[in-house]
Amino acid sequence: MERPLSGRVALVAGGTRAAGRGIAVQLGAAGATVYVTGRTTRSERSEMNRPDTIEETAELVDAAGGRGIAVPVDHLVPGWRCTRRSYGVTEENWHDATERTPDFGISETPAYVGRAVAALAADPDVARWNGQSLSSGQLAKVYGFTDLDGSQPDAWRFITEVREAGKPCDVTGYR
């Protein structure tokens, strides 16, 4: 397996769960040594009392082929973004959320955004992206990676072309 990030070191702040975990694991899969930071450890849970820990993420980095190093750090910032957990789903059953929120069908797994970050980190010509706002879907088409289900969700294009245009929710052609 190709390891374009062998010998490279990455720091993933907030790598306990969701996109942070996905990024850390995919950087590890590309061969990087990944320092994973977060508040929840096996010995001390954050006030959110979630079961995911930075040690588990570091172990997933190791299992993916990299080297994971867990470092307890409190990055507490008011405000935490809507994640899959907010919908009561996991990577395994995320399609269940589409019953309540049809737009959720365009969502991507944390691994997808992780693969986008790993692809950027491995690109010797990464400077070509300087000053741009990028999406996982856009980068998937350039670098050829997929989400865990083999698709290439393009959420931002979907939002622009379907949701903002007031069209009925249909992810066909965007996943």
Segment 79-88, tens digit of pLDDT:
363 444 445 6
**What is the mean predicted confidence (pLDDT) over 15-43?**
91
pTM comes to 0.68
Question: Comparing C-alpha atoms, which of 115, 91, 152, 139 is closest to residue 28?
Answer: 115
pLDDT at 1: 66
Segment 43-54, tens digit of pLDDT:
887 777 888 999
The pLDDT confidence band at residue 126, using thresholds 50, 70 and 90, is: very high
Q: Are 4 and 31 in contact (CB under 8 A)?
A: yes
pLDDT score of 78 more than 50: no
How deeply is 53 buried, as exposed, middle or buried, from its count of CB atoms within 10 A (0-12, 13-18, 19+)?
buried
